[in-house]
Chain A
Amino acid sequence: MTIDAHTGVPAGSSALEAETQRVGHSIAGALPPAARHPIQALDGKAMQLASADQELKAALFRFVDVVPACRSMDDLARHLTGFLHEVKHPPAPLSVAMRMADSRAGRAALGAAAAAGVRHMAHRFIVGEDPRAALPVLRDAWKRGVAPSVDLLGEATVTPREADDYASRCAEALTTLTAATAQWPTRPRLEGDSHGVIPRANLSVKISALTPLLRPHAPERGQADAAERLRPLLRQAREAGAHLHIDSESLDTRDAVLDLALRLLAEPEFAAGPSAGIVLQAYLRDSPQMLHRVLNWARDAGKSRAQPLTVRLVKGAYWDHEMVQARQHGWEVPVFDAKADCDANFEDLTRRLIDANGLVRVAVASHNLRSLAHAVAYNRLRGGTDADLELQVLKGLGDGLAEALAGCELRVRAYCPVGDLVAGMAYLVRRLLENTANDSFLHDQAAGVPLDDLLSAPTPSHVLAGRP
């Protein structure tokens, strides 16, 4: 057991553990019953089917991935059956689907049904075609106590023009969100903490979309090019009083993105604003060192800024990519391979962030009830107020959870991707992977694992192995 030097709240203390359980149970009690969301329950069934059979899962993902590139219903059906032929033991409904594909009329019907299925699934995760179209959903969530962060989905940026297009879409989104959110009703819980006012308009941006030049082995050129497009967005956000969040992607660009964000935010012209944030990915083994860097920056270069940096703690969405890339190149795997290690690290980082909440704004993003409950419990035991802790979920994956958190009067924000189907597919596939991973919290929850098990403290592998 470690005892935090600053607060005296022991990391694994019985007080923290008891509070975590209490908070966890109260959030769980506020979760909406699945029966109230029959459509989600239906999707859940499909997810369950997919996660039970690796081949079926692969077929489903490959199909979802190719949908936007298919030219006709016939083409769609041919792709679908092509993938399903690779499933050795197709469940009965799929055998029917494959027989349908034998005729042209059958393929048209199958293609139409499958396209509708994917579109339905996409709408669960993607709020609208563009920010304007998304406004009713965002406003509705706001009214129910869930703040949004909008993320603009897009194709990969490979040309300067595509980078310019993304930057202007971001600028438009800021304008749209600023104007629209000004009309929203007051929700004090979502609009302020002990640091002051929290902007209503909140946009997440990706550096890799702001430049076609981001090369992992030569980050400087891409950083310089992205800076040319990021600075105007920062200025606009400052003038509009909006929040701009710099997302993280894979480790290939992690350092480049963080360096650029921290460098620009320390420039004198941004001392007065905007409110801005970065992301810390807990699945990376070196994430504690990254947090150390960020906190040093906040103490030093970031100290003169009027608005504290927001640090969004996430597990990380590129686990498979990092694993595959490292194995293919013979590199040390940069991510935790055991879920419990990652969860334990997430909790360590949570506590360190909350300890530092005089320097930074803390946002804990997770669908793991235990991780969220632990954050809330630690913050309370340390004497903090709930207002000083933001909890984040993904639209589509964490809707019920967001509702429950809001019901418990906690400050919650949903990450809301906006964009068309073509642009959203890479995102959608990643979310589906996350949702059907056998070791995910959502999987366990859907499989009916008892609440007390879901809320139990993660046991790191070195503890299981009896090592100190």
Chain B
Amino acid sequence: MKPFSNEPVLELRRADVRAELASALAESDGRGPVRVPVWIGEDRREGDELISTDPGQPDRVVAVAACASAGEVDEALRRAGEGAGKWARTPAGERARILLAAARGLRARRTRAAALAVRECAKPWPEADADVCEAIDFLEYYARGAIELAQGAPLLQVPGEHNDLRWLPRGIAAVISPWNFPIAIPCGMVAAALATGNSVVLKPAEQAPGCAQLLCEVLREAGVPADVLALLPGEGAVGAALVRDPRVHIIAFTGSAAVGLEIWRTAAETPPGQKHLKRVIAEMGGKNCVLVDADADLDEVVPAMLNSAFGYAGQKCSAAARLLCHESVHDVLVERLAGAITTLQVGQAQNLATDVPPVIEQAAQERVSAYRDKARAEGRLVEGAPVPAAGWFAPPALAAELPAESSILSEEIFGPLLAVERVRDISDACDRVDASPFALTGGLFSRNPDTVEYVAGRLPVGNLYVNREITGAMVGRQPFGGNRLSGTGTKAGGPGYLLQFVEPRTVTENTVRHGLVV
């Protein structure tokens, strides 16, 4: 097998590559709304309980989904239990082969999948394409990882005994995925569980059932057995039912801190009859900070901050929310950023010139708007250009001169609002970051190697980016995940991730019979 390498993103600087996107979108639109069934085994029950729309044009229906009932949750878990044994006994190489076939399947549908993310989640093309590439990367990376894991680990061997450490599937994984990486994140969690021999019940975000459906189709077509992967579209109640159920062994979740903590609590229960501890793999929120020291190259800071804070309207868990700036460059940087956000074009995701797409839904628009009002009242707010009236648009905005206790500096906003703070020095900035319960990503702009080392030692974050934007982690290159209340410290797309999905077993055999080593 070829060593892992990342799936190349589209080279959108070339006009001929860009030209293909318009036709991909037209073709996707031509198919009409995606029908997303409750899909258990061979049974597909369609329905229209969930309607998924284009955030930029809310009257455009992208997907029509059934919503899993309590009975269907029960049935999905029963079938997953039936499928689990055989899948667990399937050799790792065979499971990996199926995941690699799924990678090929997704590759063959790249622009179609991206077009769906453009419509359903208002992901701009470059980011929608990157989302599909990351999904392919997860399939390729975990397939290889599972084969490696099946080799076991080297142990100390002494005469007369044979020691063997192996990893076994846990059983049933409930995967609860978000809408902001509508293909990559569910794909990563599902692929990791499948690669390690678990069966999977996927509950995708209610805002993105269409993307989840495409992912499940790809996996089933590649050869994932029908009773090893179930799709349960639905709202919070479906996820909650899965989390509570004693038949579930693994809960892989990516989403908000509030939901994540609730899952953590619920999963800790061991009702009578449950013979195991549930393993929770949670990637939660962040309040990500970028530190700018006096020796930073502001020419690089400005574009990197525009990308980090306003790319996909700030709706990435890795997005920059706070900019902590050395007092000697604070005013210059605020002025340049204030000018630069007026250059950002707010518009529809399918338009390649769009810098800031709409936020996911009306509630998000209202939430971000409330924080902007608060920033205006508490400090200084600079807003970008006016936004289109229809659709859930929010202007990119910069909040400065806020009081230290402002909730804008501590709460996750998940929208295009960046708060800038003046700091005395880098040590002061590190103190402020350290005060936060969140520790997902962080950034530093400095050209002093000693400063880089100091900050790398002090920031509690899971991913620190130096002199670059703080989003865009690549599988195999930047294993991704946060610490503290941002997550369980597991690293998606990194070497240790699959270990969360398996149980270790050490087998020691006495090889001495009648005093002879046999």
Contacts and interface: CB of A to CB of B under 8 A. Distances in A.
Interface of B: 5-9, 11-15, 18, 125-126, 294-300, 302-303, 328, 336, 338-340, 342-343, 345, 351-355, 447-450
Nearest to A220: B353
Contact of B12 (A65, A66, A162, A216): A216
A373 B7 CA distance: 45
Contacts of B351: 218
Nearest to A221: B353
B18 A69 contact: no
Contact of A71 (B294, B353, B355): B294
A8 B7 CA distance: 48
When A and B form their complex, which 7 residue pairs have the shortest distance between CB atoms, in order from nearest? A159-B339, A330-B8, A217-B12, A216-B13, A156-B299, A218-B353, A66-B447
Contacts of B355: 215
Contacts of A83: 449
B447 A62 contact: yes
A133 to B, nearest CB: 23
A251 B13 contact: yes
Interface string A48-73: 00000000000000100110011100
Contacts of B338: 159
A interface residue count range (under 10 / 10 to 19 / 20 to 34 / 35 or more): 35 or more
Given A160-B343, A330-B8, A255 B15 contact: yes
26 contacts: A66-B447, A66-B448, A69-B296, A69-B447, A71-B328, A75-B294, A82-B450, A155-B298, A155-B299, A156-B300, A159-B340, A159-B343, A160-B342, A160-B343, A161-B339, A162-B339, A212-B343, A217-B126, A218-B352, A218-B354, A252-B13, A255-B13, A255-B15, A329-B9, A329-B11, A330-B6
B471 to A, nearest CB: 15
B342 A159 contact: yes
A159 B295 CA distance: 21
A212 B295 contact: no
Contacts of B449: 82-83, 85-86
A82 B294 CA distance: 16
A160 B339 contact: yes
A158 to B, nearest CB: 4
Contacts of A215: 352-353, 355
Contact of B340 (A62, A78, A212, A216): A212
A213 interface: yes
Most chain A CB atoms below 10 A, which of B328, B338, B340: B340
B352 A217 contact: yes
Contacts of B450: 78, 82
Nearest to A79: B448
B6 to A, nearest CB: 6
Given A71-B328, A213-B343, A331 B8 contact: yes
A330 B5 contact: yes
A65 B297 CA distance: 9
B467 to A, nearest CB: 11
From A213, A215, A329, residue with most partner B Cβ within 10 Å: A215
Question: Chain A CB within 10 Å — which of B126, B340, B343 has the most?
Answer: B343
A444 B266 CA distance: 70
Contacts of A158: 299, 302-303, 336, 339-340, 343
A157 B96 CA distance: 48
